[in-house]
Amino acid sequence: MTRNRIPAVARFLRRRIWQVVPVVFGIALLNFLILQLAPGDVVDVLAGEAGAATPEYMAQLRASFGLDRPLPVQLAYYLKNTAMLDLGFSFRQNMPVLQLILERLPATLLLMIAAMGCAVVSGVVLGVISARFVHRAADRAVSVFVLVTYALPTFWLGLMAIVLFSARLGWLPSSGMTDIGADLGGFEYLWDVARHTVLPALSLATFYLAVYTKLVRTAMLEYFGADFIRTARAKGATETRITLFHALRNALLPLMTMLGLQLGSILSGAVLVESVFSWPGLGRLAFESILARDFNLLLGILLFSSVMVTILNIFVDVVYAVLDPRIEL
Amino acid sequence: MQSRRFLKLAAVLGLALGVAASHPSIAQTVGDAPVRGGILNVNIPTEPVGLNSGINTTMFIGEVASKIQEGLIAFDADLQPVPSLATQWEVSPDGLTVSFDLRKGVKWHDGKDFTAADVAYTLKEVWQKLHPFGRSAFGNVTKVETPNSHRIILTLSAPAPYLLNYINAYGAPVLPRHLYEGTDVVNNPYNQKPVGTGPFVFKEWVKGSHIRLERNPDYWKAGQPFLDGIIVKFIPDVSARVVALQSGEVDVVVGNALPVTSLRQFEDKSRYTINLIDGNYLATIAFAQFNVRSAPLNDKRVRQAFAHAVDRNALLKVVYLGYGKIATGPVPSSVTKYYTPDTRQYAFDPKRAAQLLDEAGYKAGANGKRFRLRLIHDGAAGSPLSTRTAEFIKQALAKVGVDVELQAPDFATMLRHVFTDQDYDILVSSMHRLPDPTLGVQRIFWTQNIRKGVPWTNGSGYSNPHLDAIMEQAAKEPDEQRRKAQIREWQQIVQEDVPLLELVEPVWITVSSARFKKLALQADGLFSSYADAWLEPRK
C-alpha cells in the first residue's frame, strides 16, 4: 500500500504546481492594481523626508524610477518581470528586492518556526490535558490560561516580557537577533541567537496557542464518544493509548487545517512582534515599505509570500494524507 | 512623596519658563579625561535609506553618515563655525568670493589622498545638483577654482551670506571624487557603504538590525577617535527603546527617539544624561499652517483670532512637558543673529479671538458654532507630539465656536493632501528653520515657492509681494547690519499676517548613559562625528 502511494503523491504535486502558476499571477495582478489606490508615491516620501526638493528633481527621480510611464505600461513591465522571476529593484533601499527579501528571510523563518512549533506543541499538550480531564480543575485552568493569553495583545505582552525579563531581571536580551558587538562563533553564536529568540517567539506563540488548544480539545472530545474509541476500549487498550494513538491522531486533522491557513498570516502577523523586539524580519520590511510607498519592494514581498503560502498549503495537503490514509490525494 | 512630586512639578514649570537651554544636565556630557577604547551603542529611531547626506537630508542618514563623512566646517555650541576639513576660510568684503584652505595629509578611508578636487567635484555635481538644500545654498556659485591641491575658491554671482551657516557634515558632506565621478550619483553603490574622511570607517550594515562602524586608525586628528567603534541600532518601538537604554543595550538615544513622557525615568543624574542642545542647528519650530487659499482662512482676522485662541503656554506645559520654548515668530530664538521678539505677539485671549471672528463676519450661530475646519497632522507619520498638539488646538478652537475635524493619515497621504491636492484647512507639523532664515524660512513664505506637488514648500499659498522683495534682498545682502534689519522686518510682516501660527520651539533631546562623555558640545550634535566621544568605565 505504501509503495503505490508514492506515485500518487508525485502525480498530485505535478497537478498542483501547475495550478500555482495562474494563482500567483492573479495575485500579482491584484497586488499591483490595489497598490495604485494609495495616495502618494516613493518620490513624495523621499522628498518629504529630505525636507526640501524642486519639481525638476522630483520629475528626474520619477523618470529614473519609471514612475512617469503610463499605468498600463508600468503594469506590463511588472508582469513581464514577474514572469521572468525578476522581483525588481527597491529605489528607496538602493538594492535588488530579492536580495532584501533573502537577507530578512532567515530571521522571519526562525521566528515563525520557533513560534509555530511552540504554539503547536503546547497547544496539543494543553488540548489533550483539557480533553482528558474535561470539566475538572486542570481543564478550567488551561481554559483560563489560554483565553488570557489570547485576549492580551501580543505587542503588549511582548513589552511586558521585555520589562520583566530584560529590564528588571536582566535574564534575556530585549532586542535584535544577536548580540551585535560580541563577534561570537559556533556554539556560542547559536546560544546567543536562541536567547534572543525566546521572548519574541513566546510572545508570538501566545496568540496561536489558544486556537490550537481549543481545536484539539474539541476534536478529542468528539472522538472520545466515537464508535472506534469504544471498540478500542472494548478490546482493552489503556486510556493513555486511546488518547494518544486513537483520538489525538484524528484530532490533528483540524489542527493541520488551521495551521495551513495561519502559516500565511504569520508573515503579516509578526509585524508587531518584530517591531517590539527589533527583530529584522520580513513583516517590518513590508510595513515600512508601505509607509515609504516602496511598491517594488512591497510587491516583491507580497509575491514572495504568496508563493510561499501556496507551496505550504500543498505541503499541508500531503501531510493530511499521511495522517489519514482515507484521504485521497 | 508629596513634596517630591511638588519638586518635580516645579522642575517642569522651571523648564516651561524658558530655562530649558541652560538645563544643568547639559554640563554633564562634557568631560575632560577621555578614556580610550570601547564600543558605543547608539540608537536612532528609524533605519536610514542610505548613508549619503549629500543627496538626501533625512535626519536619520545624517545621524549615522556624520561619523563617516565630513564637511568643510562644523559648529560649536553657539552655532559658530569651527574647522573640520577646512582649516580656515575667508569671505571677500563684497561677499562675492569665498575661499577655503583645506586640511593637508587627510586620507580617504580607502587610502587615497583628500584634495581640493574632491571638494570641487562634490560641490558641482552633488551639492549644486542633487542636494535638497544645496541647490539654494550653492545656487549663487558660478565658478569653482582650485589653485592648488589644498585651496578652493568659490566665485558667486551674488553674495550668499548664509553659506557658512549651513555647510557641516550634514549640510554639505564631501564625497570621494574617485568613487563618484562619472557614475550615477543617486544610485552609486557607495551611498550604501560610504567611504569618507571621518573618524569612523563603515564596516557593515545588516538591514533591519544595525550599522557597524570601526575606528579610523589614520584619522587626521591625532589621538582621536577615542572609541574603538560605534554600533548604530534601529529600534522601531518606542517602549523598547526605553528598556534598551535602561538595560544598557544602548548607551545613547538621539533625535527625540524617546517620548517626553518617558523622560521622568531618566532623571537620575548619576545614571543618565539628558542633553537638550544637540538639535539647535536644525532650529525646529512646530506650527499650525493655514491654507489661506479659501474662506474663512483667507481672512487675516480669522488667523489672528486663532492665534489668540490657542494658549501656547499651556500647550508647552501640557503637551511638551516643558521641553521647548514658546515660538514668537518664524525665526527661532536659537538663531540669535537674526531672531527678534519685537514682532506682533498674540496673547492668549479667547474674548479677543471671538471679537476678531465677529469682525470678520463669522458670527456664532444659534448652536454657538461659527464654522467647521479640517485639521491634518503628522501624528501618525512619526510625530506623536503632533497628535496631542492637534487635539489641544481642537479644544482651544471649540471654545471660540470653531469645529475642528482631525485627520491623521500616513506620511505620503499627508504630503499629497497638503502639497499636491492642497485639500486641507490646517496642517499641524514642524519644520527645520536651519541656522539661516534665507535657507530655512524663506521657503515657507516665498510666492515663488508655491510649488504644487513638492513637499515642504510654501504650502499655505500665502503670497505677499512686499515680503517677497525683502526676502530676496536679504538673500544677497552682504552687509550684516542691513541684512539683520531686513530679516527683522520680514519677521514683523509674517507675524502680522500669520499664514502660520508658530507654536513651540521644541528641543531635540538626546538621552544617554551618564558614562557617555564628549570633549565639547555642539549645536549640531545630532550630526556630531563622535571623534571626541568616549565611554567612562563602568563603576
Mark yes or no for CB contact A176/B47 under 8 Å: no
What Å distances lie between residue A277 and A172, A281, B220, B502, B522, CA to CA?
Answer: 12, 10, 39, 37, 32
- Per-residue confidence (pLDDT) for residue A267, from 0 to 100: 63
pLDDT tens-digit series, residues B33-66 = 899 989 999 999 888 989 999 988 888 999 999 9
Neighboring chain B residues of A169 at a CB cutoff of 8 Å: none
Are the C-beta atoms of residues A153 and A271 closer than 8 Å to each other? no
- Per-residue confidence (pLDDT) for residue A181, from 0 to 100: 67
Of A39, A176, A278, the CB nearest to B413: A39
Mark yes or no for CB contact A55/B451 under 8 Å: yes
pLDDT tens-digit series, residues A193-226 = 888 888 898 888 888 888 899 888 888 888 877 8
User: What mean pLDDT comes out for the span A5-19?
Assistant: 78
Mark yes or no for CB contact A177/B410 under 8 Å: no
pLDDT tens-digit series, residues B212-269 = 999 999 999 989 999 999 999 998 888 889 989 988 889 999 988 898 989 999 998 8
Residue type present at position B323: Y
CA-to-CA distance for B269 and B246, rounded, in angstroms?
13
Share of chain B above pLDDT 70, in %: 95
pLDDT tens-digit series, residues B371-390 = 999 999 998 877 889 999 99
Give SS3 for A201: helix
User: What mean pLDDT comes out for the span A242-247?
Assistant: 80
Residue B27: which pLDDT band, with cuts at 50, 70 and 90? low
CA-to-CA distance for B339 and B327, rounded, in angstroms?
11
Closest Cα to residue B503, out of B254, B290, B259, B352? B290
pLDDT tens-digit series, residues B490-526 = 999 999 999 999 999 999 999 999 999 999 888 899 9
Tracing cell 529590564 back to the chain, one arrives at A167
Does position B360 have pLDDT exceeding 80, yes or no? yes
- Per-residue confidence (pLDDT) for residue B8, from 0 to 100: 43
Element (H, E) at B493: helix B480-497
What Å distances lie between residue A147 and A144, A257, B479, CA to CA?
Answer: 5, 21, 74
Mark yes or no for CB contact A93/B207 under 8 Å: yes
Instruction: Locate the chain A residue with the closest alpha carbon to B410.
Output: A291
Instruction: Locate the chain A residue with the closest alpha carbon to B130.
Output: A57
Of B39, B57, B412, the CB nearest to A51: B57
pLDDT tens-digit series, residues B481-492 = 999 999 999 999
DSSP 8-state assignment for residue B536: P
Of A45, A155, A175, the CB nearest to B244: A175
Among B138, B239, B446, which would you mutate to test the A interface (most chain A Cβ atoms within 10 Å of its Cβ)? B239
User: What mean pLDDT comes out for the span A243-249?
Assistant: 80
Mark yes or no for CB contact A276/B207 under 8 Å: no
- Per-residue confidence (pLDDT) for residue A167, from 0 to 100: 80
- Per-residue confidence (pLDDT) for residue B21, from 0 to 100: 42
Residue A324: which pLDDT band, with cuts at 50, 70 and 90? confident
Average pLDDT of chain A to the nearest whole number: 84
Residue B17: which pLDDT band, with cuts at 50, 70 and 90? very low
Residue type present at position B304: Q
CA-to-CA distance for B254 and B29, rounded, in angstroms?
13
Window 170-209 of A, Cβ < 8 Å to B = 170, 173-177, 180-181
Among B44, B454, B458, B535, which would you mutate to test the A interface (most chain A Cβ atoms within 10 Å of its Cβ)? B454
User: What mean pLDDT comes out for the span A12-27?
Assistant: 84
User: What mean pLDDT comes out for the span B193-199?
Assistant: 96
Neighboring chain A residues of B257 at a CB cutoff of 8 Å: none
pLDDT tens-digit series, residues A148-160 = 888 888 888 888 8
- Per-residue confidence (pLDDT) for residue B15, from 0 to 100: 40
- The per-type count for chain A, helices as H runs and strands as E runs, is 14, 2
| Cβ neighbours, 10 Å, residue B507 | 26
- Tally A–B CB contacts below 8 A: 163
What nine digits make up the cell of A318? Answer: 500531503
Closest Cα to residue A89, out of B192, B358, B236? B192
- Per-residue confidence (pLDDT) for residue B114, from 0 to 100: 96
User: What mean pLDDT comes out for the span B390-409?
Assistant: 95
Does position B333 have pLDDT exceeding 60, yes or no? yes
Q: What does pTM read for this prediction?
A: 0.84
If one compares A73 and A250, the residue with the highest pLDDT of the two is: A73
Mark yes or no for CB contact A57/B130 under 8 Å: yes
CA-to-CA distance for B236 and A285, rounded, in angstroms?
11
pLDDT tens-digit series, residues A49-95 = 887 788 888 888 898 888 888 989 999 988 888 888 888 888 888 88
| Contacts of residue B411, Cβ cutoff 8 Å, sequence gap at least 6 | A40, A45, A48, A49, A291, B378, B381, B382
If one compares A181 and B49, the residue with the highest pLDDT of the two is: B49
Element (H, E) at B503: strand B500-506
Neighboring chain B residues of A57 at a CB cutoff of 8 Å: 130, 132, 135
Average pLDDT of chain B to the nearest whole number: 90
- Per-residue confidence (pLDDT) for residue A268, from 0 to 100: 59
User: What mean pLDDT comes out for the span B14-24?
Assistant: 41
- Per-residue confidence (pLDDT) for residue A3, from 0 to 100: 52
What Å distances lie between residue B122 and B130, B202, B508, CA to CA?
Answer: 10, 20, 29
User: What mean pLDDT comes out for the span A6-25?
Assistant: 81
Does position A270 have pLDDT exceeding 90, yes or no? no
pLDDT tens-digit series, residues B443-475 = 999 999 999 999 999 999 999 999 999 999 999
Among B46, B129, B249, B442, which would you mutate to test the A interface (most chain A Cβ atoms within 10 Å of its Cβ)? B249
Among B47, B49, B213, which would you mutate to test the A interface (most chain A Cβ atoms within 10 Å of its Cβ)? B49
The full 3-state SS of B387-442, as one line of letters, equals: HHHHHHHHHHHHCCCEEEEEECCCHHHHHHHHHHCCCCCEEEEEEECCCCHHHHCH
Domain residue ranges in chain A: 3-96, 104-323
pLDDT tens-digit series, residues B401-429 = 999 999 999 999 999 999 999 999 999 99
Distance from B440 to chain A by nearest Cα, in Å?
A: 9
Does position B26 have pLDDT exceeding 60, yes or no? no
Residue type present at position A293: R
Distance from A60 to chain B by nearest Cα, in Å?
A: 10
A104-323 fold: MetI-like fold (1.10.3720)
- Per-residue confidence (pLDDT) for residue B220, from 0 to 100: 94
User: What mean pLDDT comes out for the span B15-23?
Assistant: 41
CA-to-CA distance for A150 and B247, rounded, in angstroms?
28
Whether the upstream peptide bond of residue B296 has omega within 30° of 0, thus cis, is: yes
Q: What is the DSSP string of B240-308?
A: HHHHHHHTTS-SEE-TT-S-GGGGGGG--TTTEEEE--TTTTT-EEEEEEE-TTSTTTTSHHHHHHHHH
